[in-house]
Amino acid sequence: MQVRANGIAIEVDETGSPQGEPVLLIMGLGMQLIGWDERFVATLVARGYRVIRFDNRDVGLSQQFDAAGVPNLTAAAIRRAMGLALHTPYALHDMADDAAGVLEALGIASAHVCGASMGGMIAQHLAARHPGRVRSLTLMMTSSGARRVPGPAWRIRAAMIKPPPSPDDTEAVLANRAAFYRLIEGPGHRQPDAELEAFLRADYTRAYRPAGTARQLVAVATDRDRSPLLAQLRLPVRVVHGRDDPLLPVKAGHDLVRRIPGASLDVIDGMGHDLPAPLFARFADNIDHAAGRA
């Protein structure tokens, strides 16, 4: 269903009892709400949660910002490396306001919040800007944005800024995305080829918005260091990170815990920058860990 949040149209999915403890799931760069697997959602519902997923602005079925044009990611990367300003039609804090707007549109005063990757960055802004909306925070495979925190390996940076295939060439798009998934997944939980292909095909069929992904990437690049915001947080926070994450190395998880008062960390062996099905129960345990302290 579509709701009006922060002045724009946002696609939302709700699962579970309206009387359940609400948990808002915020997905990462270029990913649609279906990036939160139905089996993971079912795991949370079985534990009594009311699960809310949504498409971030500029991806999926939410409002697009095509009038802003498509950023040149190579040029943006060079400008960022040189410390020059980047131009973006929106920032991560705008996306956090979208998330707050989703809760408001659904009549939910506050929720447990779980964000993955860029979604974790948005969740940090949400907790800082709208503290009354966030009961607890689970931050998965994300970072503080601090300068000294290691970032992606160069081969992954190159893959992220490489121009995508034509949207009309379905098989080329799927092959390109599958190759990127294989770059960032962990060695301990490799997704079966057939399962990965089925997900990517469903994701492409639902909505394929490479221009929106590029604009989101520039929003991430312009966000910089969130440490001052993190130091002010006063709520239960659980950080979850894969020991074998090549996109945001595990040092990013350790860094987050040091910057957030009272936060705790779960480092998962064999996990990369992905959400593998064998770990769904463990991810839910981590949400329980934070929620139980709220």
Q: What are phi and psi of 96, to 5 degrees?
A: -65, -40
Mean pLDDT of 110-129: 99
The three-state secondary structure class of 161 is: helix
Q: What's residue 147's pLDDT?
A: 86
Report whether 241 contacts 115 (CB < 8 A). Answer: no
Residue 23 sits in a domain whose CATH number is: 3.40.50.1820
Q: What's residue 134's pLDDT?
A: 99
Q: What's residue 195's pLDDT?
A: 97
Lowest mean pLDDT across 78-82, 95-99, 105-109, 134-138 = 78-82
Report whether 269 contacts 243 (CB < 8 A). Answer: yes
Number of domains present in the structure of the chain: 1
Neighbours of 277 (CB within 10 A): 14
% pLDDT > 90, the chain: 86
- Would you state the structure tokens that stand for residue 253, as one six-digit string? 């998880």
User: pLDDT digits over 238-286, tens only?
Assistant: 999 999 999 999 999 999 999 999 999 999 999 999 999 999 999 999 9
Report whether 253 contacts 228 (CB < 8 A). Answer: no
How does residue 84 score in pLDDT terms, banded at 50, 70 and 90?
low
Q: What's residue 88's pLDDT?
A: 87
- Mean of pLDDT over the chain: 95
User: pLDDT digits over 194-251, tens only?
Assistant: 999 999 999 999 999 999 999 999 999 999 899 999 999 999 999 999 999 999 999 9
List 54's β-bridge partners, or say none: 12
Range(s) of the domain holding residue 108 = 2-291
Report whether 158 contacts 183 (CB < 8 A). Answer: no
